[in-house]
Structure 1
Amino acid sequence: MGYGLGIFLLALGLILALAVNDAINSVDLTMVGWILAAVGLLAIALTAFTANSARRTRAVATTTHADGTQTSTERRVHNDPPAV
């Protein structure tokens, strides 16, 4: 699933919802169009969310002291692509 699928479903849904005035065996194509448009928007949002969350990672460092106790520190690392 990616941006392409989301855009395709959104476009197909909007075409069915706004441009088609027909019915197939008592199936409301306008409602089917709105459902496809909503699924397309959801696919685009999920793709954007997963692509953005993949760039953020965490680094955890654990230090063991001489008396046996441990201290953990956590920091966020942003893996942004290099600027060209």
Structure 2
Amino acid sequence: MRLGSSIFLIALGAILAFAVTVDLSGIDLQTVGAILMLVGVLWLVLEFVLFRPRTRRTTSTARRDPGTGSTTYESTTRDL
């Protein structure tokens, strides 16, 4: 969802900056579009640098009790 939001902001900013030719008093839509594109690109960079999925390593071990013959499974998960 975060990745889609940043792409949406970039696309909306590009539309406002390059495609809309309406003049509104007090609002410069080209500047608003440029700001939205900048925020979208910044959000996209932060998404890949800070919020990227972390690598996980899972190790499974099976132990058999010789007295009862039962098997115990143990799983360990570690974030890298």
Q: Which amino acid aligns with 1:12?
A: L
Name the CA distance, whole Å, in 2 between partners of 1:12 and 1:21. Answer: 14
Which residue of structure 2 aligns with residue 71 of structure 1? none
Which residue of structure 2 aligns with residue 33 of structure 1? 33
Unmatched tracts of structure 1, length 5 or more: 58-76, 80-84
Name the CA distance, whole Å, in 1 between partners of 2:23 and 2:45. Answer: 30
Q: Return structure 1 stretches of 4+ with deviation > 3 angstroms.
A: none
Q: Where does 1:61-72 land on structure 2 (aligned, <5 Å)?
A: none
Among all aligned residue pairs of Structure 1 and Structure 2, give the percentage whose two residues are the same amino acid.
41
Which residue of structure 2 aligns with residue 19 of structure 1? 19
Unmatched tracts of structure 2, length 5 or more: 57-77
Which residue of structure 2 aligns with residue 55 of structure 1? 54
Max radius of gyration: which structure? 2
1:24 Cα deviation from its structure 2 partner: 1.9
TM-score by length of 1: 0.59
Which residue of structure 2 aligns with residue 10 of structure 1? 10
